Amino acid sequence: MPLNTEPYTGWGRVLTGTGGRLRPEKTAGLKHIDLGPAVGALRSYGDAALNEKPSVDMTRLDRMLAFDAETGVLEAEAGVPLTTLLDTFGPRGWMPAVVPGTGYATLGGAIAADVHGKNHHAAGSFGQHVLSVRLIGADGVAREVSETAEPDVFRATLGGMGLTGIIESARIQMMACPSMLVDVHERRMPNLAAYMEAFEDSTATFSVGWIDATGTGAKLGRGILEEAEFATRETPFWKPRKPPKPVPFNAPGFALAAPVVRTFNQLYYSRISTTGRKPTKPIAAFFHPLDGLIGWNKLYGKRGFHQFQCVLPTESAALTLDAMLREIGQSGLAAPLAVLKKMGPGRAGPLSFPMAGYTLAVDFTNRPGAAPLVNRLIAQTVDAGGRIYLAKDSLAEAQQMAAMYPELEGFRATLRALDPAGLFETDLARRLNIRGMQ
């Protein structure tokens, strides 16, 4: 099978994978290749899916294999994009129990990063709805792992960032999808305190907030909270969404300069009236608002961008968020895309990101000052007893790993038994010394 040696990047386009990719189009193809770590849809931002040696692109092994309409249990190959599951089963009353902010993420990528969605506070993480995984180990053989068969390996695979092996296929428990529409309630949040109070009071099934990361002073932490419930009335008719439109070229450097972003954010905030707004939206538009614009990461220009995403424990979250938002606001480096969300405790594996508390995600164009700022934010996260999301990171350092991921040692022990030679090691694992061999 030919190796495509073209360099490739994650969604942030700052770091580059140099080892090339193999791309089997048939299951049998997986048996005749030199093994390397898996690559999904490359919707992780940093170097999670990058490698200096050959990797295995799983996007063509994307078939749904079996579905039980009584129980909502689905078996599918790892390369299937979550949006396909939503489109196929939504109209029949089922959907993945957890969907991240992009529907292009693959089933394998969603398991490997143990992704969270807008219902994390109640539904937990993606991995908590995985029943079993067919995992290709370092010996090249695929085997079924689950809560009963090799439970340590199973759990290490949920959120294990591909380091335990290649996920060939998986069985997941889907959740009921009573409607293809959601009733959304959008409200202005004038500042951080009001915002967090609203999250604490929220009883909504889905909740997420846009935050104006350029806000300073009295406007610090202002934003728009979106809460949503499945629409209860009959879906009048359901049209498949319009085909997405591509961003044709890299945006010029000034497109996201500080004054532009401040103006944009002001308009974006004011578009919601003081009394709020209650639109009804297709679920795909609510879950994946940016998927209609293919390659929107090019809007950050060819130098790429960083996303900083942390989760902070509930007790100290207000204080830490306040300090972080001050620093971000003063820097003038933030892009419009910034998200605040309250998380529940749900997590599936030792390397899973979620913890009970607040998660903040902010994009920064990769220009001078951005990386040092993100590094300071990461240090603040570590000090606060929080953690950063490995699927988004490209800047953290190895010595910060253990503090953020207390179960790291156990994960390392599992890896030592599973993959002593490091066949599935990625650039991320090398940078953060996740395997603990350096």
Partner 1 sequence: MNETWIILGASSAMARAFARDMATQGDALLLCGRDTADLERDAADMALRGAAPARVFAFDTRDPESFMPILEAGRASKGVLNVAVFAGSMPEQADIDADPSLVAGVVTDNFTAAAAFLMAIAPEMEARGAGVVVGIGSVAGDRGRLGNYVYGAAKAGFHTFLSGFRNRMGRSGVQVLTVKPGFVDTSMTWGLEGMFLVASPSDVAADIRRAIKKRRNVIYTPWFWIGIMTIIRTIPERIFKKLQI
Residues making contact with ligand FAD (CB under 6 A): 11, 37-44, 48-49, 58, 78, 100-102, 105-106, 108-110, 112-113, 115-117, 161-162, 166-167, 290, 391, 426
Residue 4 or residue 273: which is nearer to partner 1 going by CB?
A: 4
**Does position 425 bind partner 1 by CB under 8 A?**
no
**Does position 66 bind partner 1 by CB under 8 A?**
yes
**Does position 77 bind partner 1 by CB under 8 A?**
yes
Which tokens belong to 278? 């209650």
**Does position 132 bind partner 1 by CB under 8 A?**
no
3-state SS assignment for residue 340: strand
Length of the chain: 438
Q: Compute and round to an integer the Cα radius of gyration of the chain.
A: 21
Helix (H), strand (E) at residue 317: helix 314-331
Q: How far is the CB of 38 from ligand FAD (least distance, A)?
A: 3
Q: What is the number of H-type helices and E-type strands within the chain?
A: 12, 21
Among 33, 52, 73, 88, binds partner 1 (CB under 8 A): 88
Q: How far is the CB of 91 from partner 1 (least distance, A)?
A: 10
**Does position 31 bind partner 1 by CB under 8 A?**
no
CA distance 150 to 129: 17
Matching residue, tokens 């940016």: 290
Q: How far is the CB of 216 from ligand FAD (least distance, A)?
A: 26
Residue 128 or residue 426: which is nearer to ligand FAD going by CB?
A: 426
Q: Which does 11 bind (CB under 5 to 8 A by kind): ligand FAD, partner 1, none?
A: ligand FAD
**Does position 437 bind partner 1 by CB under 8 A?**
no
Q: Which does 4 bind (CB under 5 to 8 A by kind): partner 1, ligand FAD, none?
A: partner 1
Which tokens belong to 340? 């605040």
Q: Which does 44 bind (CB under 5 to 8 A by kind): partner 1, ligand FAD, none?
A: ligand FAD
Angle between helices 192-201 and 314-331 (to 10 degrees): 140
**Does position 73 bind partner 1 by CB under 8 A?**
no
**Does position 67 bind partner 1 by CB under 8 A?**
yes
Residue 67 or residue 264: which is nearer to partner 1 going by CB?
A: 67
Number of residues located near partner 1, criterion CB under 8 A: 18
| x/- map, 137-176, partner 1, by CB under 8 A | ----------------------------------------
**Does position 32 bind partner 1 by CB under 8 A?**
no
The window from 58-66, 97-105, 152-160, 284-292 that contacts partner 1 (CB under 8 A) reads 58-66
Residue 369 neighbours by CB distance under 10 Å: 11
Which 243-272 positions form the footprint of partner 1 (CB under 8 A)? 243
Give, in order, the Cα–Cα distances in Å from 23 to each of 63, 80, 302, 375.
Answer: 15, 14, 26, 35
SS3 per-residue string spanning 225-269: EEEEEECCCCCCCCCCCCCCEECCCCCCHHHHCHHHHHHHHHHHH
CB 154 within 8 A of CB 128: no
CA distance 339 to 400: 23
Q: How far is the CB of 392 from ligand FAD (least distance, A)?
A: 7
3-state SS assignment for residue 39: strand
Residue 160 neighbours by CB distance under 10 Å: 31
Q: Which does 294 bind (CB under 5 to 8 A by kind): partner 1, ligand FAD, none?
A: none
**Does position 417 bind partner 1 by CB under 8 A?**
no
Cα 239–Cα 73–Cα 160 angle in degrees, nearest 5: 100
**Does position 28 bind partner 1 by CB under 8 A?**
yes
CA distance 352 to 355: 9
Which candidate, 321, 352, 311, 374, places its Cα nearest to that of 110?
352
| x/- map, 224-243, partner 1, by CB under 8 A | -------------------x
CA distance 188 to 265: 13
User: Which residues in this chain contact partner 1 in the complex, by CB under 8 A?
Assistant: 2-5, 23, 25-28, 60, 63-67, 77, 88, 243
